[in-house]
């Protein structure tokens, strides 16, 4: 390849369909607020969306909005407005950029979707603390600001083995959501509707898992950066037929690549596992940088966080409790290390990159010796890069590139 020639990263054709369903998703909520035809629930990203969908709420996810603020690079300028209200620059930069956007009356939705001026106003806020405490603080702020009820499920964290005690405790809290949600929606709970939404979520999750698992092929037909974009329906539309149909389409396209022995990169010299969150404002730059180094960052813990193989429509509350408690983020370091070790073997990687995200300790697993322990166990080398999901002041692009290039040279020498 000539020196100045850009390496090819294959684009995913199904993205056009994803853009359509995401557009429909946002316009439907905007219309519901304007006409009052349906109630809106805000939900944390691994909160009980199935219950809300089963009770006919349209469901909006502030974390998805946070990621959009990051990806459009609006966040760094908005964070200080939340800091001025007492929310530290050291806490979740989804929270601070989203509250900053609210204070300034801005949203990337109005740039992407003509006619949408603001995020949909909620009738209820529902969160689960399985991922972190920040979501509860975030939702509490809106609850007071908008005078809207907040319902929270509290989940144990740092769990080594998930047992019946954990499941019962969370399942009871999930059941306790029904009564207040009936009052807010004005509709009676229907068990069959919940079963249907859990069944659709399970189907979506199984298909999303197949999409991610396909990266074990050599060469991989998908990158982590593709996954970070195409996970949107698994997050915001799980429990709907649109998400199921979308992942069938995406999986078919990726399977075709496998059949034709096509990788997502022209030359996949190295395979890397990504541990931690993406740097949303640098997604494209990172994707291009790794492609230029003939390196496929092909799998991550993060994208796998929306795989819920425990969902069972015949036992909706207990199975939701199990799925939302077995998440990687709620687990002890022992359980996390076992999981990452299995993933590195499954995806046949020759290195792992840990993203130390300044404002999200919950999705950062390199601060207490895990990289060193796993390297000793697996002999797979690691690199830690400093950065953040949304606050671009927390990273140095030059430093990141220098460290990554040196890491790839190290892999080259080991080859």
Name the residues that contact ligand SF4, by CB under 6 A.
63, 92, 94-95, 131-132, 134-135, 360, 362-363, 389
Toward ligand SF4, which CB reaches closer, 297 or 360? Answer: 360
Toward ligand SF4, which CB reaches closer, 107 or 129? Answer: 129
Residue 252 exposed, middle or buried by CB count within 10 Å (0-12, 13-18, 19+): exposed
Helices 164-176 and 178-185, packing angle to 10 deg = 20
Toward ligand SF4, which CB reaches closer, 62 or 120? Answer: 62
**Minimal distance in Å, beta carbon 134 to ligand SF4?**
4
Toward ligand SF4, which CB reaches closer, 127 or 229? Answer: 127
Strands 270-275 and 58-60: unpaired
**Minimal distance in Å, beta carbon 330 to ligand SF4?**
11
Evaluated on CA atoms 74, 137, 121, 22, the torsion sign reads: positive
**Minimal distance in Å, beta carbon 276 to ligand SF4?**
10
User: What HEC string does 219-275 produce?
Assistant: CCCCCHHHHHHHCHHHHHCCCCHHHHHHHHHHHHHHHHHHHCCCCCECCCCEEEEEE
**Minimal distance in Å, beta carbon 32 to ligand SF4?**
25
Toward ligand SF4, which CB reaches closer, 75 or 242? Answer: 75
Toward ligand SF4, which CB reaches closer, 129 or 197? Answer: 129
Toward ligand SF4, which CB reaches closer, 135 or 243? Answer: 135
**Minimal distance in Å, beta carbon 367 to ligand SF4?**
14
Toward ligand SF4, which CB reaches closer, 92 or 232? Answer: 92
**Minimal distance in Å, beta carbon 27 to ligand SF4?**
26
**Minimal distance in Å, beta carbon 359 to ligand SF4?**
7
Toward ligand SF4, which CB reaches closer, 32 or 95? Answer: 95
Phi, psi of 276 (to 5 degrees): 120, -175
**Minimal distance in Å, beta carbon 300 to ligand SF4?**
14
Toward ligand SF4, which CB reaches closer, 157 or 248? Answer: 157
**Minimal distance in Å, beta carbon 40 to ligand SF4?**
20
């Amino acid at each position: 390849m000539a020196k100045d020639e850009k390496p090819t990263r294959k684009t995913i054709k199904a993205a056009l369909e994803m853009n359509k369903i995401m557009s429909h998703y946002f316009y439907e909520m905007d219309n519901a607020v304007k006409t009052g035809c349906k109630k809106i629930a805000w939900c944390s990203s691994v909160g009980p969306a199935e219950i809300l969908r089963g009770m006919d709420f349209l469901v909006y996810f502030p974390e998805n909005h946070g990621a959009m603020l990051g990806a459009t690079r609006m966040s760094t300028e908005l964070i200080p407005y939340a800091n001025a209200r007492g929310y530290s620059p050291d806490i979740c930069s989804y929270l601070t950029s989203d509250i900053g956007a609210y204070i300034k009356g801005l949203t990337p939705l109005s740039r992407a979707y003509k006619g949408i001026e603001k995020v949909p106003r909620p009738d209820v806020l529902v969160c689960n603390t399985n991922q972190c405490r920040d979501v509860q603080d975030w939702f509490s702020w809106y609850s007071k600001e908008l005078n809207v009820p907040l319902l929270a499920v509290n989940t144990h964290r740092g769990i080594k083995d998930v047992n019946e005690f954990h499941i019962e405790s969370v399942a009871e809290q999930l059941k306790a959501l029904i009564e207040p949600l009936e009052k807010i929606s004005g509709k009676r709970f229907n068990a069959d509707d919940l079963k249907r939404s859990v069944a659709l979520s399970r189907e979506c999750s199984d298909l999303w898992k197949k999409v991610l698992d396909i990266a074990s092929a050599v060469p991989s037909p998908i990158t982590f950066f593709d996954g970070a974009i195409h996970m949107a329906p698994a997050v915001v539309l799980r429990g709907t037929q649109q998400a199921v149909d979308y992942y069938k389409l995406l999986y078919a396209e990726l399977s075709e690549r496998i059949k034709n022995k096509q990788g997502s990169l022209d030359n996949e010299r190295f395979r890397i596992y990504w541990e931690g969150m993406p740097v949303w404002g640098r997604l494209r730059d990172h994707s291009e940088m790794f492609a230029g180094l003939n390196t496929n960052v092909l799998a991550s813990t993060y994208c796998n966080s929306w795989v819920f193989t425990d969902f069972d429509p015949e036992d909706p509350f207990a199975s939701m409790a199990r799925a939302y408690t077995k998440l990687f983020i709620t687990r002890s370091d022992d359980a996390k290390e076992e999981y990452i070790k299995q993933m590195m073997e499954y995806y046949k990687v020759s290195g792992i990159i840990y993203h130390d995200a300044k404002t999200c300790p919950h999705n950062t697993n390199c601060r207490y010796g895990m990289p060193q322990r796993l390297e000793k166990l697996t002999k797979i080398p690691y690199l830690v890069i400093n950065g953040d999901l949304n606050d671009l002041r927390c990273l140095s692009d030059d430093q990141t590139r220098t460290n990554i290039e040196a890491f790839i040279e190290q892999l080259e020498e080991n080859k």
